[in-house]
Amino acid sequence: MFILRFFNALACLLLIPLICSGNAFALTVTVDSGFRSQWLGPGMDYMEDESTGLTAQAVRQRDNWQTFDGHEVNFGFSDSVFWLRFSVDNRSGVDQQLLLDNQFPMIDSLVIYIQRSDGYQQQQRLGDAQPAYMRQMLHSHLLLPLSLPADTRADILIRVQSETGLQLPIVVWEQDAFLQQDHPFSIMQGVLYGLLIALVIYHLIIFLSVRELAFLHYSLFNLFLLGTFCGLQGVAAAYIWTESVTINDTLVLVSMAGAQTFSTLFMNGILGIPSARPRLGKLMYGIAGIACVLMLASLLAPHRWMAKPVLLLIVVSISVLTYAQIRRVLDGYPIAKYILAGGAFGAFGFAVTTLANTGVIAGTPVTQGAAYVGIVLLSLMDAFALSYRMNLDRQLRLQAQGELLETQRQLNADLDRRVQERTNELQAANERLMELSTTDGLTGLKNRRHFNELFAHEFKRACREQKPLSLLLLDIDHFKQLNDQYGHPFGDLCLTQAAQLIANTIRRPPDSAARYGGEEFAVLLPNTDKEGALHVADKIRESIGQHQVSDGQQQAVMTVSIGVASFIPSQNNTTEALLKAADDLLYRAKHNGRNRVEG
């Protein structure tokens, strides 16, 4: 058995040069110690296989690879197979646990071939052509774990085939970094779905109360909109019907067509188009009818037959709806001007995101986030429309009384405005006084008094939460010589620019910097250990040392010495202990030659 394993390993090592032969990969993802993620797009090799019959071994020997130069790999609708290749090189010095993340979950088939430089090979199949429960990681995205030992390179070959749009927003993640960004995104999704469910229930209840079809249409529109998002974002396939490979594609097309059906009917009713513009009203009923037919046809016909007609209908429907709203504004219909922005831009945002997620246009943060903006605008539009419709008759009957009430309201509003203006002026003055009392007048940083208060507060919090707290004390080297040689105005300029460089280096909201006295500065870094604090200190020292202070003909380069102290506070520690430790280390930096960091 040992001999058999030996020859198998030897065969793998001998085959590596053959497998990896051919052109060098144009795109290499370098994983260093600070690696978090890299978007794969510009520079990635790709090749189209129109025959759809090439094997991975045959593809590796081909020399007709092309280099992708766009932002995101997107081949639109195609019957061809596309091959992608890139490399991941672990130069971090430690083993890395990575993730390959394809953020468009409607790809039918992704076959990933991994060949590591240590001889390990892996082949994994992903995509919605196989049940979600078979994935290595159950998630709305298509995820593949990638273990990469230290100083190891992985050559990755991907075979892609899909009846849906060939959109491939692929990202290489460090696993912890992926989890950190995935949590808030999941919360955002939950909020979106909760909003849509609330809109469905709320407007359905209103319909049952007033029997107004516009509310039923809007409720059903939000229901199908919810289905569209669940399908396009992969949530339904991953968590609802994990054993099906066909329901999700059908859900997306049915939901998209249904959303167009009921959004058109809603607009037609709420704007009163059939009575005011009969021909336009008939056109909108026709569009709703076609959308309804496509919705029913999507239940029976293959996805590849229905995708383009549904997307084309979305474009036509948006154009007609936008025209209808503009037309009613020009007619002087009161409610139209309020729902124009919400209706037109809301529908437009939803269409942009739909087209981006189906591969018709490039997926960017703007195109993928357009639907969220659209939903908010639609909900505001509907809320106002509901309020207007419910109060319109009452306003007509009580017009005279309403005018009197409006006059009184205006007087009260003027009085409230004046009071509010005065209140705002006083508040602004108080805020300015507070700012002046806590800010150093020369450098713009916080002064020592404010810093001591913040220091005590953060020290108590770190002690309570048992989190590390770091303190940096900085002193400009030979500052007295700068003052004597160039004069006090130039010295003040040095202090101001040093303060700006320090402020530009610390980025986190809890971090703070202050002028501690003379040419001495203090930087407080909550929830930062000694290693992180030393890193920040080195960045500050390098930033100041590389900066030239200029004032007319006078020029100088400053250096700083920095003492870095860090510990997890306890009941036995005090702020004075941490401050003394940082001060002693600053003195050591001065003693050891200046322009250095001691910690």
Active-site residues, by number, are: 519
Question: Are the beta carbons of 352 and 364 closer than 8 angstroms?
Answer: no
Provide CB contacts within 8 A for 478, sequence distance 6+. 559, 594
Look at phi and psi of residue 332 and say left if phi exceeds 0, alpha if psi is from -120 to 50, else beta: left
* 517: nearest Cα among 587, 451, 565: 451
Structure tokens at 448: 């020592």
Taking the C-alpha atoms of 321, 324, 330 and 334 in order, what is their torsion angle to the nearest 10 degrees?
Answer: -80
Geometric angle at alpha carbon 320, from 316 and 326, rounded to 5°: 150
Three-state DSSP class for residue 55: coil
Question: Are the beta carbons of 168 and 84 closer than 8 angstroms?
Answer: yes
Strand order in the sheet with 37-40: 37-40, 170-174, 96-102, 142-148
- Fill in the amino acid letter for 282: K
Three-state DSSP class for residue 56: helix
Spatial separation of the C-alpha atoms in residues 400 and 40, rounded to whole Å: 66
* 586: nearest Cα among 541, 532, 549: 541
Question: How far is C-alpha 5 from the chain's CA centre?
Answer: 47
CA distances from 332 to 319, 383, 448 (A): 20, 20, 62
Spatial separation of the C-alpha atoms in residues 31 and 203, rounded to whole Å: 51
* 502: nearest Cα among 551, 544, 564, 535: 544
Rg (CA), the chain: 32
Let me know if 577 is exposed, middle or buried by CB neighbors in 10 A (0-12, 13-18, 19+): middle
DSSP class of residue 301?
A: S
Three-state DSSP class for residue 24: coil
Question: Are the beta carbons of 578 and 567 closer than 8 angstroms?
Answer: yes
Look at phi and psi of residue 73 and say left if phi exceeds 0, alpha if psi is from -120 to 50, else beta: beta
Spatial separation of the C-alpha atoms in residues 209 and 225, rounded to whole Å: 23
Spatial separation of the C-alpha atoms in residues 355 and 314, rounded to whole Å: 9
Spatial separation of the C-alpha atoms in residues 65 and 481, rounded to whole Å: 63
* 234: nearest Cα among 158, 99, 143, 350: 143
Q: For the beta carbon of residue 520, count every other beta carbon within 10 angstroms.
A: 17
CA distances from 7 to 48, 183, 399 (A): 36, 46, 95
